[in-house]
Amino acid sequence: MGRPGKFLLGGSGLLNRSTVNKRLPYILLAPSVIILLALILYPLGFALRNSFWFWNLQTSPMPLYHSGWDNFRMVFLVTPFSEALKNTLLLAGLGTFAQFWLGMGIALLLHTHLRGMGLMRAVLIMPTTLAPVVAGFLFRYLLEPKGGILPWLLKGLGVPVPPQGFLGNAGTALFSIGLVDTWQWTPFFAIVLYAGLLSISEEIKEAAQVDGASGWRMFWSVTLPLLRPIAAFLVMIRFMQLFNSFDLVYVLTNGGPGTASRTLSFNLYREGLVNYNIGLTAAMTWLVVIIVSIIINLYLFFVFRKREW
């Protein structure tokens, strides 16, 4: 054993204080990194393995044989994958866009310190606290073509309502799902962006005003750039959530009519929990992971290419 304090571990002299200091952060971080990797990599690895095996619980409780790329081919041959991908991108893209700008508008309104804004903040958060299934059932009744309040109101305003109802019409089913999601999640954007607005220093705004910026110019050139980090992450998170939309689709339309509101997550549910084709579902999962990863990494690249994050 060496002198106290010089060697912390053992008597070999390999781990002196400076070595320990250098490695300590890694040692301390190691358990959480290992757990995190295990939680992420194990399921993905398990799914990857299964994606190359024929395993359908309708015919066998165990994987039967190595099937090469068959499951990936089957994704395109027997499931409405391309329709679901198109719908998912539409829902996620348009939904995120609408929710961001509506949320921004509400946040700016909240920031005006008009009377009643405190109450509005409290009320705003309420839809976000509802489970999507509950919101889905609520709107299913509101959109019911025979007696639902929304078709009745719209008809009263002269807006044409499809005879099959908004949820039964191929042209409006996906839009209706997006509408319900927007109703539920726009307040989330509003609250977080409002917090972002509060964090912008008054001095910066005053300096911009001194330099002649006001109104829209102030918003586009000062406020929005300063909100960019928060907004970018918000958009990313909501896009990913919307990309995985399932609850509302399940409750409102069950993916129909036809494939009009099928999403990738709904396809996964059908293949995994209805048809019990584990191999096919694993292959589809990996395709979805790849697609989402490409989109998110491209997004991060363009949004943060000039910044460290």
Binder among 102, 142, 154, 164 for other proteins (CB under 8 A)? 164
Q: Is 54 in the site for other proteins (CB under 8 A)?
A: yes
The partner residues of 230 in beta bridges, in order of sequence, read none
State the maximum Cα–Cα separation within the chain, in Å, rounded to a whole number: 90
Stretch of residues binding other proteins (CB under 8 A), selected from 41-49, 59-67, 115-123, 191-199: 59-67
As given in the structure block, the two tokens for residue 179 are 């509408």
Which of 84, 186, 266, 270 binds other proteins (CB under 8 A)? It is 270
Q: Out of 45, 118, 225, 258, which residue is the one contacting other proteins (CB under 8 A)?
A: 258
Q: Could you give the CA distance from residue 84 to residue 264 in angstroms, rounded to a whole number?
A: 5
Residue among 51 and 277 whose Cβ is closer to other proteins: 277
Q: Using the minimum distance from each CB to other proteins, give the nearer residue, 61 or 156.
A: 61
Residues 6+ away with beta carbon under 8 Å from 63: 50, 53, 54, 55, 278, 279
Write out the two tokens for 3: 């002198």
* Region near other proteins per CB under 8 A, out of 21-29, 41-49, 125-133, 269-277: 269-277
Q: Per CB under 8 A, which of residues 125..154 are in contact with other proteins?
A: 145-146
Two tokens, residue 171:
């042209």
Q: Is 14 in the site for other proteins (CB under 8 A)?
A: no
Q: Does 282 bind other proteins (CB under 8 A)?
A: no
Residue 261 interacts with other proteins (CB under 8 A): yes or no:
no
277 touches other proteins by CB under 8 A = yes
- Residue 21: CB minimum distance to other proteins, A: 47
Considering the rule CB under 8 A, would residue 260 count as an interface residue with other proteins?
A: yes
C-beta of 140 vs 238, nearer to other proteins: 140
Nearest to other proteins of 108, 247 (CB atom): 247
Site for other proteins in 75-94 (CB under 8 A): 77-78, 80
Only one of the segments 15-23, 37-45, 218-226, 272-280 lies at the binding site for other proteins (rule: CB under 8 A); that segment is 272-280
Q: How far is the CB of 279 from other proteins (least distance, A)?
A: 10
The smaller minimum CB distance to other proteins, of residues 121 and 144, is found at 144
Measured CA to CA, the distance from residue 292 to residue 290 in angstroms comes to 6
Q: Is there binding between residue 160 and other proteins (CB under 8 A)? A: no
**What's the rounded Cα separation, in Å, for the pair 264 and 124?**
30
Name the token pair of 202: 């008054």
**Least distance from other proteins to the Cβ atom of residue 259, Å:** 7
19 binds other proteins (CB under 8 A): no
Q: How far is the CB of 166 from other proteins (least distance, A)?
A: 10
Using rule CB under 8 A, residue 276 touches other proteins: yes
- The footprint of other proteins (CB under 8 A) covers 54, 56-61, 70, 74, 77-78, 80, 145-146, 162-165, 167-168, 170, 253-260, 270, 273-277
